[in-house]
Amino acid sequence: MTRKKKFNEESIMKATEDLLLERGYDHFHFKALAERLEISRSTIYEYYANKEELIKAYMQRVMNSIFVELMLIESIESPLDQLKQLLNLFLRYYKIRHVFHSPEVVFSENMQDMMKDLQKIREKIVEIIQKGKKMGYFRSDIPEDLIVTLIFYTIEIPHLSPNGDMEATSEYLYKIYVEGIKN
């Protein structure tokens, strides 16, 4: 009889993320996850009934991490510093976003839950923008929805980043948002 390898929730989530990034949602399956973790598939089934349940748990974990970071960002006094940290946050999670473009995912219950979470994130960003406008840091003539959309689309930019350096990309974006491109 073989001995079960010990693993924990963190190792399952890390391996899930790695496989999602490597293979995408459509090619993610328990067999590959079991091989990555060096455990049997039946062991994974002890924790998750199916792929969708595991992916939902993974997505909730990511969203919880984002919300924790958003709370820290909210505690920052300056709206400009909050903006800078928002850009860093979005760029840190850019790879994950591309995993969930499968039609199978877009219409799933998991994605509907994630859309609710994204709406909450959007509301937090609006609060930061409103605070920045009220304090005179941000222009009041630019619609909030346009600024929020621009920030959300930041997640599409990393593939253009010099040498994959997300910190440099975040700094460039911050300069563009705050200083503009005018010389």
Kindly report the CATH number assigned to the domain that includes residue 35: 1.10.10.60
31 with 94, same domain: the answer is no
Q: Is 75 within a domain?
A: yes
43 with 62, same domain: the answer is no
What is the pLDDT of the chain when averaged over all its residues? 84
86 with 143, same domain: the answer is yes
DSSP code string of the chain: -PPPPP--HHHHHHHHHHHHHHH-STT--HHHHHHHHTS-HHHHHHH-SSHHHHHHHHHHHHHHHHHHHHHHHHT-S-HHHHHHHHHHHHHHTHHHHHHTTSHHHHTSHHHHHHHHHHHHHHHHHHHHHHHHHHTTSS-SSS-HHHHHHHHHGGGG-GGGSGGG-HHHHHHHHHHHHHH-S--
122 with 172, same domain: the answer is yes
pLDDT at residue 123, rounded to an integer: 92
Q: What is the CATH number of the domain that holds 116?
A: 1.10.357
**Structural domain boundaries enclosing 160:** 58-179
pLDDT at residue 107, rounded to an integer: 53
75 with 145, same domain: the answer is yes
CA 159 to chain centre: 15
Reported as a pLDDT band with limits 50, 70 and 90, residue 134 is very high
pLDDT at residue 104, rounded to an integer: 60
83 with 39, same domain: the answer is no
pTM check: above 0.85? no
Residue 2 in this model has a pLDDT that exceeds 60: no
Q: Is 163 within a domain?
A: yes
36 with 122, same domain: the answer is no
140 with 116, same domain: the answer is yes
106 with 38, same domain: the answer is no
Structure-block tokens of residue 99: 């995993």
68 with 40, same domain: the answer is no
Q: What is the pLDDT of residues 10-67, one digit of tens each?
A: 999 999 999 998 988 888 999 999 999 999 999 999 999 998 889 889 988 988 999 9
Number of structural domains the chain divides into:
2
In the chain, pLDDT over 70 holds for what percent of residues?
84
Q: Is 53 within a domain?
A: no
123 with 35, same domain: the answer is no
Q: Is 9 within a domain?
A: yes
Reported as a pLDDT band with limits 50, 70 and 90, residue 101 is low
136 with 161, same domain: the answer is yes
